A and B are shown apart, each in its own frame.
Chain A
Amino acid sequence: MTTLLRAPQKAAPKEPRRRGATERQRPLWLLTPGGLLMVVVILIPLVLALWISLIDLDQYTLRRWVEAPFIGLANYAESLDSGLLHSVWISVSFAVLATAATVPIGIAAAVVTQNAYRGRGVVRAVFLIPYVLPSFVVASVWRTMLQPDGIVNRILGTDGTLWLNGPKSYWTLVLVEIWAAWPFIYLMALAGLQSVDHEVHEASAVDGAGWWPKLTRVILPYLRGPVLLACLLATLNHINNFTLPFVLFGAPAPDDVNVMPMLVYVTSFQSLRFGLSAAMAVVSLILVLIPLFVYLRAVRLDVHDEGVRR
């Protein structure tokens, strides 16, 4: 099932279209239940979000939101004064830092579990633990451990240090995200490593290449495609991550960790400024669309032939 995530340059030439006897009566109506749901709960809300971002909607106008006054781009203008740029910066820097830190960890983990040895199964299972644990559980336990009188301060001997508030909270967020997210890069890198042919290993063994040149010149280039895709997806997930900051710090979040999802959430469900919050959410969508667009170009969607599983 790993066929989808191949580097674009490896794309096979397009298969000729098949037109079998089965294609004449196409049961497209089977798409309706799923399609209808997605239209009602995804497409309509998307359009509605755009609309709300252009109207002055708050708790007073919510009951009759259809009649709320249209105010054009005023919400967008106001969001610039309400800490939007600060949050964009926090979100982007947090996402990039987390991705940059997880890549070497993930690749190293994949490289050390590539060869079979006794107990490898256990090691692989251990590597997956942070990933398997639900985000809200990870955030809850770290929140407990990082309390001023918690275990982290006891072990470090830094009694009373605030990890969940003030300037250190940013690094708390980055570190906990790294702890939770590196196995994703590991899994993708492992899938890439397994696609390296045995001949490649043998050839470099015959050449007598040392382990470091072999690793950096021969093996790692194979990982470029899968790891780049993993980076894109990981960055998207970091930017969209609401659970971790919400459970770690609570709402409203401290200023240093006021990432986009938190800002949008607090603006709508605590300040009850729905129009303003929608404008901020639209900005965060645009932020996400950039890596998403690159990703969609890279994934092969049009494989349509049976037996293409590799």
Chain B
Amino acid sequence: MSAHAEATRLLPRPLLVTITVLLCAMVLVPLSYIVLASLNSDVGVAAGEFWPSSFGLGSYSKIWTTADLSTGIVNSLIVCGCTAVFSALLGTTTAYVLVRYRFRGRLTILRGLVGLQSIPGTLMLLPVFVLFSSAGNYLGLTVVGTRWGLFVAYLTFALPFSTWVMVTYLRGLPRELEEAARTEGASTLVILRRIIFPLSLPAIVVAAIFAFLLGWNDVLFASVLTRPETQTAAVALQIFGSSQEGGAVPVYSQMMAAALVCAAPVVILYLIFQRYLVGGLTAGGVK
């Protein structure tokens, strides 16, 4: 072990190993059961097997008929994908103005961006629901139950966070390039499109992914603002889970498979963008 590593070492080796093993076990024991159960059969899981007596992907093929998972996943992908794109673009524009220009109320907006993220969703859901349903009563627009309604709700709740991620990033971006472009006579929109967007692409990706996850992980709004045809993956899984009680044969293996399928897009996104996302997590302090 080098002198550097020796000096920065914080714990004696046995203790370090013990803690690491304990923490990994805490995560991996339940996780391995979930994966093993999803590869087992429903009968095997019901018999209480930890290690499957026969491995198979049967549960993964059955869930598509047992639960309404494919509708949910398609709806989630559409709604959350749109949310991601629009909130990242709008967030970048808003953040650019907030970072580069000083004006009255700027600090209030910045404070609001952080504060809005902590407002309980349950407080917002009812008035949003009332507003959306009065759009039906008074304007003849159907909003509740459509993907549009969900999209607008997610977009707005994602926007403060996306903007905040972009504010922290754009602060670190030197102004010289923009100023040079401006003296050449470029308009703000051109500067945004040609300079700011390309330069801040990594942060835009982070903002977009967080917006996507906000929608993907939401149950609260989706459970009230959707119909069976427009329900999201989260709602489909929740309904699948709660429909198990009182049923004749529990389908725990399919339950685990469905849960893992719903987690897959999120895990894949993290694996690809892990480095950026962890930085974004600590910056925004929000999941």
Contacts and interface: CB of A to CB of B under 8 A. Distances in A.
A284 B287 contact: no
Interface in B114-157: 114-116, 118-128, 130-131, 133-134, 137, 152-153, 155-157
A145 B24 contact: no
Interface of A: 1-5, 17, 20-23, 26-28, 30-31, 33-35, 37-38, 40-42, 44-46, 48-49, 52, 57, 62-65, 105, 108-109, 111-116, 123, 125-137, 140-145, 147, 149-151, 154-155, 179, 184, 187-188, 191, 198, 201-202, 205, 211, 214-215, 219, 229-230, 233, 236-237, 239-240, 242-243, 246-247, 250, 260-261, 264-265, 268-269, 274, 277-278, 281-282, 284-285, 288, 292, 295-296, 299, 301-309
A215 B220 CA distance: 42
A26 B101 contact: yes
B10 A219 contact: yes
B130 A34 contact: no
B287 A131 contact: yes
12 contacts: A26-B97, A30-B93, A38-B159, A49-B124, A49-B126, A52-B127, A114-B10, A134-B266, A144-B241, A198-B4, A268-B126, A309-B172
**Interface centre among B179, B252, B260, by most A CB within 10 Å?**
B252
A269 B126 CA distance: 9
B8 interface: yes
Contacts of B5: 115-116
Given A44-B131, A127-B27, A307-B174, A288 B219 contact: no
A57 B50 CA distance: 51
Interface string B165-194: 100110111110011001000001000000
A295 B114 contact: yes
Nearest to A181: B287
B73 interface: no
Contacts, number: 327
A112 B30 contact: no
A247 B241 contact: yes
B242 interface: yes
B74 interface: no
B248 interface: no
A242 B242 contact: no
Interface string B1-33: 000111111111000100110011011101101
A117 B90 CA distance: 42
A281 B118 contact: no
Interface in B216-230: 216-220, 223-224
B46 A27 contact: no
Given A4-B168, A31-B97, A229-B285, 9 more contacts: A2-B282, A27-B97, A34-B94, A130-B27, A141-B34, A145-B34, A151-B33, A211-B12, A306-B174
Contact of A115 (B9, B31, B259): B9
Contacts of A2: 279, 282-283
Contacts of A236: 118
**Interface centre among B23, B37, B50, B263, by most A CB within 10 Å?**
B23
Given A63-B137, A288-B119, A306-B171, A30 B23 contact: no
A27 B188 contact: yes
A2 B165 CA distance: 11
